[in-house]
Structure 1
Amino acid sequence: MESSYKTLEIIRNNTDSSVFHLILNRPSHLNALSLDSFIELPKALSSLDQNPDVSVIIISGAGKHFCSGIDLNSLSSISQQSSSDDKGRSSEQLRRKIKSMQAANTAIEQCRKPVIAAIHGACIGGGVDLITACDIRYCSEDAFFSIKEVDLAIVADLGTLQRLPSIVGYANAMELALTARRFSSREAKDLGLVSQIFGSKSELDHGVTKIAEGIASKSPLAVTGTKAVLLRSRELSVEQGLDYVATWNSAMLISNDLNEAVSAQMMKRRPRFAKLIGNLVSGVH
Structure 2
Amino acid sequence: MENYKTLEIVQRSPKSSVFHLNLNRPSLRNALSLDFFSEFPKALDSLDQNPNVSVIILSGNGAHFCSGIDLKVLDSISERSQSSDRGRTGERLRRHIKFLQDAITAIEHCRKPVIAGIHGACIGAGIDVVTACDIRFCTEDAFFSVKEVDLAITADVGTLQRLPSIVGYGNAVELALTGRRFSGSEAKSLGLVSTVFASKEAMDEGIRLVAEGIAAKSPLAVTGTKAVLLRGRDLTVDQGLDYVATWNSGMLLSGDLAEAVSAQIQKRKPVFAKL
TM-score in terms of structure 1 length: 0.96
- Please report how far the alpha carbon of residue 88 of structure 1 lies from its aligned counterpart in structure 2 after TM superposition: 1.2
CA distance in 1 between partners of 2:85 and 2:129 (Å): 33
In structure 2, the partner of 1:283 is none
CA distance in 2 between partners of 1:5 and 1:186 (Å): 33
In structure 2, the partner of 1:118 is 117
Q: Which runs of 4+ in 1 moved over 6 A?
A: none
In structure 2, the partner of 1:88 is 87
In structure 2, the partner of 1:199 is 198
Matched, 1:274 2:273: yes
In structure 2, the partner of 1:145 is 144
In structure 1, the partner of 2:11 is 12
CA distance in 2 between partners of 1:126 and 1:141 (Å): 20
CA distance in 1 between partners of 2:144 and 2:86 (Å): 35
CA distance in 2 between partners of 1:95 and 1:245 (Å): 34
CA distance in 2 between partners of 1:120 and 1:40 (Å): 22
In structure 1, the partner of 2:46 is 47
1:161-240 mapped onto 2 (5 Å cutoff):
161-240=160-239
In structure 2, the partner of 1:279 is none
Matched, 1:75 2:74: yes
CA distance in 2 between partners of 1:206 and 1:271 (Å): 24
Deviates more, 1:103-112 or 1:77-86: 77-86
- Please report how far the alpha carbon of residue 84 of structure 1 lies from its aligned counterpart in structure 2 after TM superposition: 1.3
Counterpart code for 1:58: I
- Please report how far the alpha carbon of residue 242 of structure 1 lies from its aligned counterpart in structure 2 after TM superposition: 0.6
CA distance in 1 between partners of 2:35 and 2:79 (Å): 17
Identical aligned residues as a percent: 72
CA distance in 2 between partners of 1:108 and 1:236 (Å): 20
RMSD: 0.5
CA distance in 2 between partners of 1:122 and 1:63 (Å): 11
Q: Which runs of 5+ in 2 are unaligned?
A: none
Counterpart code for 1:62: N
- Please report how far the alpha carbon of residue 275 of structure 1 lies from its aligned counterpart in structure 2 after TM superposition: 0.3
CA distance in 2 between partners of 1:240 and 1:78 (Å): 40
CA distance in 1 between partners of 2:84 and 2:201 (Å): 52
* SS at structure 2 position matched to 1:58: strand
- 1:85-112 per-position Cα deviation (integer Å, ceiling 9, x unaligned): 1111111111111000000010000000
- 1:173-225 per-position Cα deviation (integer Å, ceiling 9, x unaligned): 00000000000001100000000011101111111011000000000000000
* SS at structure 2 position matched to 1:223: helix
In structure 2, the partner of 1:280 is none
CA distance in 2 between partners of 1:133 and 1:177 (Å): 16
CA distance in 2 between partners of 1:134 and 1:72 (Å): 24
Counterpart code for 2:55: V
Counterpart code for 2:150: D
- Please report how far the alpha carbon of residue 4 of structure 1 lies from its aligned counterpart in structure 2 after TM superposition: 0.5
- 1:6-61 per-position Cα deviation (integer Å, ceiling 9, x unaligned): 00000000000000000000000000000000000000000000000000001000
Equivalent residue pairs, number: 275
- 1:205-252 per-position Cα deviation (integer Å, ceiling 9, x unaligned): 111011000000000000000000000000011111111111111111
- 1:62-96 per-position Cα deviation (integer Å, ceiling 9, x unaligned): 00000000001111111111111111111111111
- 1:100-133 per-position Cα deviation (integer Å, ceiling 9, x unaligned): 0000010000000000100000000000000000
Counterpart code for 1:206: E
Counterpart code for 1:72: L
- 1:255-275 per-position Cα deviation (integer Å, ceiling 9, x unaligned): 100010011111111100000
CA distance in 2 between partners of 1:247 and 1:81 (Å): 45
CA distance in 2 between partners of 1:81 and 1:255 (Å): 51
- 1:152-190 per-position Cα deviation (integer Å, ceiling 9, x unaligned): 000000000000000000000000000000000011000
* SS at structure 1 position matched to 2:136: strand
In structure 2, the partner of 1:59 is 58
CA distance in 2 between partners of 1:86 and 1:238 (Å): 46
Q: Which runs of 5+ in 1 are unaligned?
A: 277-285
